Amino acid sequence: MSPSGSASSIVADTTEGYHFLTIRDYSRTKGVPTGERIGSLPFTVGGHCWRIYYFPNGVRSEVADYVSFSLELDEDVPATVKAQVKICFAGEEEEAEQAASLALASVDEFTSQKCRQYEKFIKREILENSRHLKNDSLSIRCDIAVIHGYRGVDGTTAFICVLPCDVRQNLGKYIETNKRTHEVFEVGTEIIAVHYCVLVACWACSPVLEAELYGAIKEDNTAAAGVVHVEGMEVEVFKALLDFAYTGRLPQTSKEDDEVMCQRLLVAADRYGIVQLKLLCEEWMCKYIDVGTAATILALAEQNHCEGLRKACFDFLAAPGN
């Protein structure tokens, strides 16, 4: 008779969240003395109020040639708050990499007097010659996982990654009607072969794009050529949309092409209702607001229903000297 057995696991009860902080007019902040700081607006993660503080010339004289950051509680707490924290440049890591590195971060203890400091976040000289400083601005992302406690759970839980419902439905619908492993698209004058798993991810991201592409696939499958014709879209934008839907990443472009690609992607994201991409493009476009571009970017924001970008333009235009 086989011996009986059982299994259990200990897990942490956590709440995760993140905050983006953009520092515009970086050059003007360089006059802030060492040890003095500039704070973000307060934000909430895990039931607690937080602030990020920016030290343009380091937290103390020993690190005066560095840019420093700190994360602090913006409230009085009766007990220590335990959390894992990761601060990096926005867009530096993919979403999966960000989650993995946060999970491996050390656990810090926060009180009203105790914070987490990144004294040597980056050397000022390195920052000023890096791709992270664009149009005199930089953006960071702060990820926080607040640990509420620990508990035991049944150890028989299966480690199976289930696709979101809409992805599975789209995949099933595709397989039922098409036996090929990829589709061939004609965008402008270019022919592009796209694997169906990329299409499924794209459809899950945008029902509007699904209706257009899936409808075109069904229609064009009756033809011998089997080529799906995509109208009204530039080839680079089409590739960027598919790449974002499948990887969650924005395209890598040269400094000269950044602003143009961002504008085109923003228009496409609004057209196809890809909310996350649209928000990322709005944040991206905020870096390009200056005296010469504010009016043009404001018009773009109005045309594509970008409330955040619109507000950023008005804030810039309302500032003294603009």
- Per-domain residue ranges of the chain: 9-152, 165-318
Confidence category of residue 176, pLDDT binned at 50, 70, 90 = very low
Tokens of 35: 């040890």
Element (H, E) at 12: strand 8-23
**CA 61: distance to chain centroid?**
34
Task: For 242-301, write each residue's pLDDT tens digit.
Answer: 777 666 677 777 666 778 888 888 888 888 888 778 888 888 888 888 888 888 888 888
CATH number of 165-318: 3.30.710.10
What is the rounded distance in angstroms from the CA atom of residue 156 to the CA atom of residue 308? 45
Mean pLDDT of the chain: 78
Residue labelled with tokens 């700190």: 70
Q: Distance between the two ends of the chain, CA-based, in angstroms? A: 84
Q: What percentage of residues in the chain have a pLDDT greater than 70?
A: 71
**CA 120: distance to chain centroid?**
24
What is the rounded distance in angstroms from the CA atom of residue 222 to the CA atom of residue 232? 22
- The pLDDT score that the predictor gives to residue 173 is 46
Q: Which tops the pLDDT comparison, 305 or 72?
A: 72
Using DSSP, how many helices (H) and how many strands (E) does the chain show? Answer: 11, 12
- The pLDDT score that the predictor gives to residue 192 is 78
- The pLDDT score that the predictor gives to residue 196 is 62
Residue 291 one-letter amino acid: V
- Show Cβ contacts of residue 239 under 8 Å, excluding neighbours closer than 6 positions: 192, 251
Task: For 292-302, write each residue's pLDDT tens digit.
Answer: 888 888 888 88
- The pLDDT score that the predictor gives to residue 175 is 40
What is the rounded distance in angstroms from the CA atom of residue 245 to the CA atom of residue 78? 44
- The pLDDT score that the predictor gives to residue 200 is 60
- Show Cβ contacts of residue 38 under 8 Å, excluding neighbours closer than 6 positions: 29, 32, 53, 54, 56
Confidence category of residue 312, pLDDT binned at 50, 70, 90 = confident
Q: Which tops the pLDDT comparison, 279 or 9?
A: 279
The pair phi, psi for residue 158, each rounded to 5°, is -80, 140
What top-level class would CATH report for the domain 9-152? mainly beta
Instruction: List b or e across 62-76, with b for residues whose CB sees 16 or more CB atoms inside 10 angstroms.
Output: ebeebbbbbbbbbee
Task: For 119-157, write each residue's pLDDT tens digit.
Answer: 999 999 999 999 899 889 999 999 999 998 887 765 443
